[in-house]
Chain A
Amino acid sequence: MNIHEYQGKALLKQYGVPVLEGIHCTTVADALSAYDTLGSKVVAVKSQIHAGGRGKGNLLNPDNGELVMEGGVKIAFSREEVESYASNILNNILVTIQTGPEGKLVRNLYIESGCDIAHEYYLAILVDRENKAVLIMASTEGGMDIEHVAETTPEKIHKITVDPNVGLMGYQKRDLGLALGLSGAAHKAFGKSLTSMYTMFMANDCSMLEINPLVRTGADEIVALDAKVSFDENAEFRHKNWDDLRDLSEEEDVEIRAKETGLSYVKLDGNIGCLVNGAGLAMATMDVIKLYGGEPANFLDVGGGANEEQVKTAFSIILEDPNVKGILVNIFGGIMRCDIIARGVIAATEALSLEVPLVVRLAGTNVDEGKAILAASDLNIHPADDLAEGAQKIVKLIGGEA
């Protein structure tokens, strides 16, 4: 789960990491009064969306797609400029390298005081899956695309791995600060901020905390100029405040509804809907559809113990996508029994008066009962014995190559 920069900065501030004064706005009038309140000559006017690359993005008119303004983050030197930038940003579409060509509608804005920057650094805390530990990464090359830095000048990225049994050690913070070339007051301030960030990361079950740039000011202070924070959804049960931080307008509505019913759904661009049990098998089903010349319309994992109702919901979610021309159901029954799935499929196709071709592949527990139930129905269901046969059948039925 991602949150906005302004929310991330509020959290950082709460944990004692210096951030600039800023105000969250949703209208141009708000932005102007924020400018007046901040009393800073120079302010940053920042689009708030759940994607990076905002500064280099383009704002487009949502009605005709015409370019409104280049750059989703602007430095304003006057009240007039704030008004102009805010109106160019709000309710327009921001397209960045991370949003895809469809971009994201900007509903939120952050007006932030200016800052005297002496140097920009990069800092990130994340879970390193290979080392199974929390990793802190820092670089003197702040404000840039870190993946580019990692590829071209890997020696400029410094890493420390935190032992979860002992936590972040003083020497690790000192070493990292020295590696960044910090000294004196700035070195000390960096160590203090790093402790605060690590504490915030652990206490909030973050999966990522990225500050790019983290800056040293002319007065040798360390300030977080940006904040990209995401949380580990598995830990939602112990963070009641996440409900307030979650911006549902930034998430795919249908993916949220799927999740609420215990399904895992990701929409894709193809035309063959998939309904599968198990994440690995669901991915493999998409892959095999593609292998036989089709294009999957979605990833959908109904989980290990789906009931008739969930199967029905899964069908209705798949069918919401107008591109879907056919559906492949692929179930390897373990805990889940094939006869239950077969009944669910029949109930769903009847209730939704399914019109697109349906191929059902069943295997595993109670497979014979499941197949018998499907065969006995007068619905137009095409059975398949294995995944390859199922994929070939559905591709052929919708008029593809296979």
Chain B
Amino acid sequence: MAIWIEEDAKVLVQGITGKQGMFHADKMVEYGTNIVGGCTPGKGGQTVDLQGNPFPVWNSMFEAIEATDADATVIYVPPPFAGEAIMEAADAFDTVKGEGVVVCITEGIPTIDMVKAVAFVNNRPGVRLIGPNCPGIITPGDNGGAKIGIMPGHIHAKGRIGIVSKSGTLTYEAVAQTMSIDEGQSTCVGIGGDPVNGTGFIECLAAFQADPQTEAIVMIGEIGGNAEQEAAAWAAENVTKPIVGFVAGATAPPGKRMGHAGAIISGGKGTAEEKFEAFEAAGIACAKDPSELGAVLLESLKAAGLR
């Protein structure tokens, strides 16, 4: 088990003929992801060469899912078209098989487009959106696994720690920290740094709590909004597995956007201090330095009798 994405999940790539899409599709195949083809409107019928093998391209997500029975899709479509790509995928999954996971990597999608896309996805309860502006989701396997996104696959190993984060490189940092104490990962989810996104912290925590493979959780937040506070309050009531947390942006000045569109302290709200306090109040063991996540996790595992 893992969450949402099994090791052998069948994955489509939207924008597979583009530079980014092709580059990362190749890396995913190299990792061992079961890529079943891709979709680029107007290029249906062509094939794309990934790791020396041809992969089919379809004109539409309906065709692609009907032909492959895909479980998930990953979007590398430029910002002007990404909102619609999400909706096309959601519509096709919902219509063809009633379920599917849509992972959107694209950074820079207009917020209004995401408001519309998220509402569209939420009307299709079998469809899950991860991202946008995220590294994706990875379930390391015994032989390769399912890497759906842009994360460096080789730093991961199959294990029992679930990781959820708003930030890409901080997720990699967290992965490296688990590896430093000889722990692997069940699934790592990058939920993205945009103000309006799909899957949130709480859904990830609920899935990790329900997943028998996951025995502890690392949750990494950042300044802006109150998703971390809500997740912490929810976790206090609903999660029995140990959680270790970090929040980036303790030194960020108010009113300034720190790289991510959503990473902004506005009206004095959404500070790292607030979020750390909420974590601590919920019994989440916090690291003040991401290089200490491994040590804090090890302590938590020991305290829970897991080491």
A residues at B contact (CB < 8 Å): 98, 127, 129-130, 132-134, 147, 163-165, 202, 205, 207, 232-235, 237-238, 264, 266, 268, 276-284, 286-291, 296, 299, 301, 304, 332-335, 363-365, 386-389, 391
B207 within 8 A of A: no
Closest 4 CB pairs of A and B: A280-B167, A279-B259, A278-B169, A235-B110
Residue contact B80 to A283, C-beta cutoff 8 Å: no
B38 within 8 A of A: no
- Of chain A, the residue at the smallest CB distance from B149 is A334
- Of chain A, the residue at the smallest CB distance from B261 is A234
Query: Per-residue 0/1 for B105-140: is the Cβ within 8 Å of any A Cβ (1 yes, 0 no)?
Result: 000111111111011100100000000000100000
Besides A232-B110, A281-B170, A291-B288, 15 new A-B residue pairs in contact (Cβ under 8 A), listed by A number: A129-B225, A129-B227, A134-B115, A164-B115, A165-B119, A280-B168, A280-B170, A284-B170, A284-B173, A287-B288, A289-B251, A334-B151, A387-B173, A387-B291, A388-B292
Report Cα–Cα, A284/B168, bound state, in Å: 12
Question: Contacts A205-B112, A232-B112, A266-B258 known; A280 to B193 CB distance under 8 Å?
Answer: yes
Residue contact B251 to A290, C-beta cutoff 8 Å: yes
Report Cα–Cα, A397/B299, bound state, in Å: 32
Residue pairs across A and B with Cβ atoms less than 8 A apart, 24 shown, are: A129-B262, A134-B115, A163-B119, A234-B110, A266-B256, A266-B257, A268-B251, A278-B170, A280-B248, A281-B173, A281-B290, A283-B252, A283-B263, A284-B248, A287-B249, A288-B289, A290-B250, A301-B259, A332-B172, A333-B152, A334-B168, A364-B152, A364-B155, A364-B176
Query: Separation in Å of the A389 CB from the closest CB of chain B?
Result: 8
Contacts of B116 in A (CB 8 A): 164-165
Query: Per-residue 0/1 for B222-254: is the Cβ within 8 Å of any A Cβ (1 yes, 0 no)?
Result: 111111001000000000000000101111110
Report Cα–Cα, A164/B165, bound state, in Å: 27
B16 within 8 A of A: no
Contacts of B150 in A (CB 8 A): 304, 334-335
Query: Separation in Å of the A108 CB from the closest CB of chain B?
Result: 21
Contacts of A132 in B (CB 8 A): 114-115, 118-119, 196-197
Report Cα–Cα, A386/B177, bound state, in Å: 10
Contacts of A391 in B (CB 8 A): 289
Query: Separation in Å of the A383 CB from the closest CB of chain B?
Result: 15
Residue contact B111 to A279, C-beta cutoff 8 Å: no
For chain B, the bracket of interface size reads 35 or more
Report Cα–Cα, A165/B165, bound state, in Å: 29
Query: Separation in Å of the A14 CB from the closest CB of chain B?
Result: 19
B154 within 8 A of A: yes
Query: Separation in Å of the A169 CB from the closest CB of chain B?
Result: 15
Query: Separation in Å of the A384 CB from the closest CB of chain B?
Result: 10
Q: Which of A288, A289, A335 contacts B291 (CB 8 A)?
A: A288
Query: Separation in Å of the B197 CB from the closest CB of chain A?
Result: 8
B275 within 8 A of A: no
Contacts of B283 in A (CB 8 A): none
- Of chain B, the residue at the smallest CB distance from A134 is B115
Contacts of B196 in A (CB 8 A): 127, 129, 132
B101 within 8 A of A: no
Residue contact B172 to A237, C-beta cutoff 8 Å: no
B43 within 8 A of A: no
B195 within 8 A of A: yes
Residue contact A287 to B195, C-beta cutoff 8 Å: no
Residue contact A387 to B290, C-beta cutoff 8 Å: yes
Contacts of A98 in B (CB 8 A): 255
Query: Separation in Å of the A278 CB from the closest CB of chain B?
Result: 3
Query: Separation in Å of the B124 CB from the closest CB of chain A?
Result: 12
Q: Which of A147, A232, A279, A365 contacts B258 (CB 8 A)?
A: A279
B79 within 8 A of A: yes
Report Cα–Cα, A391/B255, bound state, in Å: 26
Q: Which of A129, A165, A281, A299 contacts B120 (CB 8 A)?
A: A165
Q: Which of B123, B169, B255 contacts A165 (CB 8 A)?
A: B123
Residue contact A205 to B110, C-beta cutoff 8 Å: yes
B267 within 8 A of A: yes
